[in-house]
Amino acid sequence: MSPVTGPIATAVAFALAVGLGVASVSWESERAAYEARIAALAQSAALSTSGLRAELATCRATNQAQPVLDAAKIARAGTPVAARRLLEQQPEGIDACARMESADRAVLSNLKK
């Protein structure tokens, strides 16, 4: 065995140990950054979900407070002019409620994945 082999092997082992230590510190800092980002996204999703639920509840409450037009009510209106007036005075927000319900389901389904 050569007298140079021992010191070279020691130097290589030391260099590998230093490299591993540097990489480990780097990985830990990246991990901490990713965990902080995940926590921020989870909090944002929770706030968004609660906001969407509040808007949906408001929308439903508004929708329930307004009269619902059905075919029987329109038929009782008698004349086409009265029926047209009832259709034109239809409560606004029905489409908004449908969109909110759809958005709420989409957000919840994404959070469950």
Per-domain residue ranges for the chain?
Answer: 5-112
Distances (CA, A) of 13 to 26, 46, 51, 86: 20, 49, 56, 86
Percent of the chain with pLDDT over 70: 65
What's the whole-model pTM score? 0.42
Predicted confidence at residue 110, as pLDDT, reads 73
Mean pLDDT over the full length of the chain: 78
Say how many C-beta atoms besides its own lie within 10 A of residue 54's C-beta: 10
Predicted confidence at residue 86, as pLDDT, reads 60
Predicted confidence at residue 68, as pLDDT, reads 54
Predicted confidence at residue 89, as pLDDT, reads 65
* Digit-coded pLDDT (tens) for 70-99: 555 655 656 677 666 666 666 555 556 666
Look-up of token digits 């082992």: 13
- Whether pLDDT at 14 is above 80: yes
Mean of pLDDT values over 40-54:
87
Residue 69: how many CA atoms within 13 Å on its side-chain side? 16
73 φ/ψ angles, rounded to the nearest 5 degrees? -65, -40
Under 8 Å between Cβ of 100 and 52: yes
Look-up of token digits 């010191």: 7
Under 8 Å between Cβ of 103 and 52: yes
- Whether pLDDT at 49 is above 80: yes
- Whether pLDDT at 19 is above 80: yes
